[in-house]
A and B are shown apart, each in its own frame.
Chain A
Amino acid sequence: MERAERVPQPAPPNGRRLAPLLSLLFPGAGHIYAGRQERGLWIAVTAATLLTLLWWLKFWSLLPALVPFWLWNAWETRTIVQGRRPSTVKLVLSAAIIVYAIGWRVTEIDVQRLAAGAQKIRPFVVSLVRPYYVDREVTYAAFPAPVQVPCGEEPSPPPAGAGSGPTIVPTPACASVGETITVRGEGFPPNVEGELWWENPIGDRVRLRSGGEFVTFVADEQGTFEVKVTVPDVVPRQFQESAQLHTVEARYVRDVGPWRLTETSYLVAQRMGETIAQALMATTWGAIFAVPLSFFAARNLMQFHPLALLVYYLARTALNVLRAIEPLIMAIVFVVWVGLGPFAGVLALTMHSIAALGKLYSEAIESIDPGPIEAITATGANRVQVVWYAVLPQVLPPFVAFTVYRWDINVRMSTIIGFVGGGGIGFLLQQWIRLTDFRSASAAIWAIALVVTVLDFFSRKVRERFV
């Protein structure tokens, strides 16, 4: 379109008044009629594409959004017939209306959901500032009391004998699921705060909640408290028929140990190591295979023979096709091939690195200065010597720079390759997010951010030195 505009405009003959009408009939037709074939063709193709899209998606209700483009294209031909220059920007904007209308629909954009879901994501945002790297060991003092669920013929157990220490008494001592009982505690340390837990006959424990919030108690000056709890639905299926003894338990923190690294920290460190190692291996293998390939994909080296040129085209196409497939997709295939684990990820990243590096390398080779090659050849050097003294010194720096940069990219990619079972930190991260263990997820995310940023900085420095 740009180029066509530079062509001197022939004075429009009188008979071209028809142009706007034609463009109204089908976009671009009037342009072609008025002698602006290239622009007309572009417009016609655009209109046809948009119509096909609407037809395919059955989005007929969006037809009105096509009107501005349709009208503007007709209006524009008037400008052309008058010998003035039509505004491409306005035309593109009018087409953007329909394009974005389709996009909005296709991608199901729904701002309401964004607002409604905010509640669900709050815990994650809160956790982001509290990554789970360290915690303290906590020991609890726990005081159980039996509860019969549901009330049955068997006699209720006697209330726990009032010893010297703290005791709790549930009243009534039997209830059905969903019923509320009162738990009264005595002899607790004054003002102590604690939590209430429930254990079913087969030993499953849950922390009691009421209305989504955990139930807590605070003892008064005398060391007594009273809270209401709802019997949770944790009755094992095999016991549903008969009455069973469950346990309600009050506990408070007796002792807080020193700070220590969490299990999450170790896992994150280990998996980040795996991620970095994966990226290093993939980059190395990728580079090893990409170097020879890149020579075949460099046009300036492959022009000596038609067959060589054919090899060049083949190599280029292979690289482009391979580069278009995201490593994550390849990882799924390699997981089938070699099984779950970091090796599958390495293979996937290697394939992608070969393609990406091969392209960059070959472009570096294509842009070398032929002068030194000529000069070294003129001294009577053989081919190997020419490559060593004239080609390598020129391509090595960009090769190193690209490779380091690739390592950086590979580290980013290997943080997600675990999503499909390819090893690295991705698997754990996804698990933690799914299980809503947001503090651990946050630990992983910050670790990724740190490592990637550091590597980014490092690779930038290396590149600056080499180029």
Chain B
Amino acid sequence: MSERSFYVRWGRYLLLVALAIPLYIWSWRTADINLVDLIQGAPKARPIISDLVRPSLLARERVTLSVSAVVRVPCDAPPPEPPPAEGPTLTLSATCLNARDSLVVSGSGFRPNTPGRLYWRVAGLEGRLRDEPFETDAQGRFTVETDIPPLLAQQGGDHTLEAELKWEAGALRPSETLRTTIDKMIETVFLALMATTFGGLVAIPLSFLGARNLMPTTPWGTTLYVAVRSFFNTARSIEPLILATIFAIWVGFGPFAGVLALSVHTIASLGKLYSEAAENIDPGPIEAIRSTGANEWQVIWYGVVPQIVPPYVSFTVYHWDINVRMSTIIGFVGGGGIGLELQRWINQLQWNSAATAVWAIVLVVSAMDYASAIVRERLV
């Protein structure tokens, strides 16, 4: 008997394995598992990982200094002498040029040991052309040799040569990324709060309709119960991101679409949790209160409500937590929150910025997780 049971048991395991293997082979191929890609792609992931630990948080203000001089093309008459200036000055080897002439630009009185670059501003045109880079020496001087770009040579006139220096100065302040991240995280948390509130408010009355024990056993009552429950189950199975895509068409891009999408999802999931909680209440206290001669409203107020408030609050807080998680991605489809910025930063390979957003998400989500766990513990 025991020997047999041994073979029966292992035989059953073998059968299970035999069934699982084809399923796994099929899944493996359908899901396109390709470990070679994973390993070969690793170099691409390296900058991501290394930037992930260096989120962009603080930055110094960038100071730009630019000094210009006028060059006349072609060289028919020298341009008017610029008035002698204080501070940084540019000195040119020639103030007028013909095509393919070379030009030596030297500067003095600049900020020492600072990188800079020359630019050409074409007469009568917007924008400027990039030219040679340079770096000032310890005395704040530099010399660069350049020639006039062909475009400028063609287009005669008084062109402006600019020497521009950039450096970081001033106190550290939150970087632009950090400020955007904070803005968007505030939006994310409030998005979740509004959705949880709206969803919860609608779910409460619906949950009574979806609770077997609270619905009368008339055909109408049963129909309503089944309808509400099916709505809960179907709507719950549609991810809020899909709903957000639809609401983005409806009300346009922005957090409002996200609020609506999350609200609908919240109605369904909270509705289900609520009605299950309502089904699980203890009939004892209700009987006891009814036996005191209380009317139906009194029975509900003193017998039902005290029993459902703690689980309802606990589920709601729990769902706020879930909604915060979801609202971090709802922006991917235009639903507001941090998602849009995060996606943009990742697509533009700005991993430092993406890291800022990711760490902000980790921080906020973990905090919510922790807080909601504490609140729920206190309630139970």
Interface residues of A, Cβ cutoff 8 Å to B: 2, 53, 56-57, 99-100, 102-104, 106-110, 113-114, 117-118, 120-121, 124, 273-274, 276-278, 280-281, 284, 320-321, 324-326, 328-329, 332-333, 336-339, 341-343, 345-347, 412-413, 415-416, 419-420, 423, 426, 429-430, 433-434, 436, 445, 448-449, 452-453, 456
A236, B254: Cα distance in complex, Å: 36
Interfacial chain A residues near B190, Cβ < 8 Å: 102-103, 106-107
Q: Knowing that A278-B27, A341-B32 are A-B contacts, what are 7 other residue pairs whose CB atoms are under 8 Å apart, sorted by A's residue number?
A: A106-B186, A107-B336, A121-B250, A332-B343, A343-B34, A345-B31, A419-B332
8 A Cβ contacts from B216-245 to A: 233-234, 237-239, 241-242, 245
- Contacting residues, chain B, for A107 (C-beta < 8 A): 187, 190-191, 194, 255-256, 258-259, 336
Chain B residue nearest to A106 in the complex (CB):
B190
**Using Cβ atoms and an 8 Å threshold, which residues of chain A touch B45?**
333, 336-337
Interface assignment of B328: CB less than 8 Å from any CB of chain A: yes
Interface residues of B in 26-46 (CB under 8 A from A): 26-28, 30-34, 37-38, 41-42, 44-45
**Bound form: Cα–Cα A171–B9 in Å:** 85
Contact A124 B249 (CB under 8 A): yes
A448 and B238 within 8 A (CB):
yes
Per the bound structure, the CA–CA distance linking A328 and B191 in Å amounts to: 18
Are A412 and B44 interface neighbours, CB within 8 A?
no
Report B's interface with A, CB cutoff 8 A.
23-24, 26-28, 30-34, 37-38, 41-42, 44-45, 48, 182-183, 186-187, 190-191, 193-194, 197, 233-234, 237-239, 241-242, 245-246, 249-252, 254-256, 258-260, 325-326, 328-329, 332-333, 336, 342-343, 346-347, 349, 358, 361-362, 365-366, 369, 378
A sample of 21 inter-chain contacts (CB < 8 A) reads: A99-B193, A107-B259, A108-B255, A108-B256, A117-B250, A117-B251, A277-B27, A277-B28, A324-B325, A326-B326, A326-B328, A328-B329, A336-B48, A337-B45, A341-B32, A343-B33, A415-B242, A420-B343, A426-B242, A433-B242, A456-B237
A347 touches B38 (CB 8 A): yes
Query: Which residues of A sit under 8 angstroms from B237, Cβ to Cβ?
Result: 412, 448-449, 452-453, 456
Question: Contact at A324–B38, with CB atoms within 8 Å?
Answer: no
Contact assessment for A338 and B38 in the assembled complex, using a CB-CB cutoff below 8 Å:
yes
Is there an interface contact between B241 and A416, defined as CB atoms closer than 8 Å? Answer: yes
Main secondary structure of the interface of B (DSSP, over half): helix
CB-based nearest B residue for A349: B31
Q: In the complex, how many angstroms separate the beta carbon of B264 from the nearest chain A beta carbon? A: 12
Q: Which residues of A contact B246 (CB under 8 A)?
A: 121, 124, 433
User: What residues of B have a CB within 8 angstroms of the CB of A53 in the complex?
Assistant: 186
| Residues of chain A contacted by B250 (CB below 8 angstroms) | 114, 117-118, 120-121
Q: Top 7 A-B pairs ranked by shortest CB distance?
A: A452-B237, A277-B30, A277-B27, A324-B365, A107-B255, A103-B190, A117-B250
Q: Indicate whether A329 sits within 8 Å of B182 (C-beta atoms), given known contacts A284-B24, A456-B233.
A: no
Q: Are B332 and A274 closer than 8 Å at their CB atoms?
A: no
Q: How far is the CB of B240 from chain A (nearest CB, A)?
A: 9
Chain A residues closer than 8 Å to B343, beta-carbon distance: 332, 420
- Cβ of A325 and Cβ of B358 under 8 Å apart? yes
Given contacts A107-B336, A336-B48, contact A113 B30 (CB under 8 A): no
Interface core residue of A108, A117, A341, A420 (most chain B CB under 10 Å): A108
Nearest-CB residue, chain B, relative to A96: B197
Given known A99-B193, A337-B38, contact A433–B256 (CB-CB < 8 A): no
CB-CB nearest in chain B for A285: B33
**Given A329-B358, A336-B44, A347-B38, A281-B31 contact (CB < 8 Å):** yes
The answer to whether B346 touches A326 (Cβ under 8 A) is no
| Alpha-carbon gap, A321 to B251, bound state (A) | 34
Give Cα A409–Cα B339 distance, bound, in whole angstroms.
21
Check A453–B233 contact: CB distance below 8 A: yes
A57: B residues at CB distance < 8 A? 183, 186
* Nearest chain B residue, comparing its CB with the CB of A336: B44
Q: Chain B: which residue is nearest A452 at the CB level?
A: B237
A346 to B31, CA, bound (A): 7
Partner of B241, one of A113, A328, A345: A328
